[in-house]
Amino acid sequence: MYDDAAEVIVHIEKNQIRRALLGFTIIIVNYAADRISKQWAILTLKGKGIVNVIGDFFILIYAENTGAFLSAGAGWPSIIKYILLLIIPLLLCCYGIYYIFIKEKRYSHIVSLACIIGGGLGNLIDRLVNNFIVVDFLNFGIGKLRTGILNVADLSVTFGALAFIIIEMGRKRKEQNLLEGYKELDIDTNTQDK
């Protein structure tokens, strides 16, 4: 297939560039969708109360969150907030970007991790430039069973995490089935030898 080692290296570099571009694009799309939707919420929903989109199942309501998911940590001292809501997430995002650009070779993992990073950066940058205030405006549920008020970044992180878990579970199940198939093949071969 390849005439020399140089062609192999060029092929590997092209694949790495493709994977990096895919990851970069997904991070940017998720981040941009979050930024645009938050600006829209500020201009359209702030001070308006509840807006029913699909009956009571999907509503829009403007909220400012000074904590993390479901306002966890909103009342923490500033130093704890900086460490847990800025520094650690920033380090994780930086490592995640390095990992998907340099290390990860599976496209499915790149997509799911890039969604997590893009959403994470959306909320992280809000906290950094808005004195820990993150705009939330989406709410889903039936009756009293509802999500917290969230944003597009939260959806990106949740989708990416769920996709990653499902992909990993499928991969492990496939490996297990393959291993069981090899064991059966080995048993059949051993019984035929006797």
Q: Which residues are catalytic?
A: 136, 154
Q: Which helix (H) or strand (E) holds 5?
A: helix 5-44
Distance CA 39, CA 66 (A): 17
Token pair for residue 107?
A: 């496209």
At residue 135, the 3 state secondary structure works out as strand
Instruction: Give 68's DSSP letter.
Output: S
Closest CA to 99 of 160, 158, 16, 14: 16
The phi-psi region of residue 157 (left if phi > 0; otherwise alpha if psi is between -120 and 50; otherwise beta) is alpha
One DSSP character per residue, 91-132 reads HHHHHHHHIIIII---HHHHHHHHHHHHHHHHHHHHHHHTTT
Residue 29 CA to its chain's centroid (Å):
12
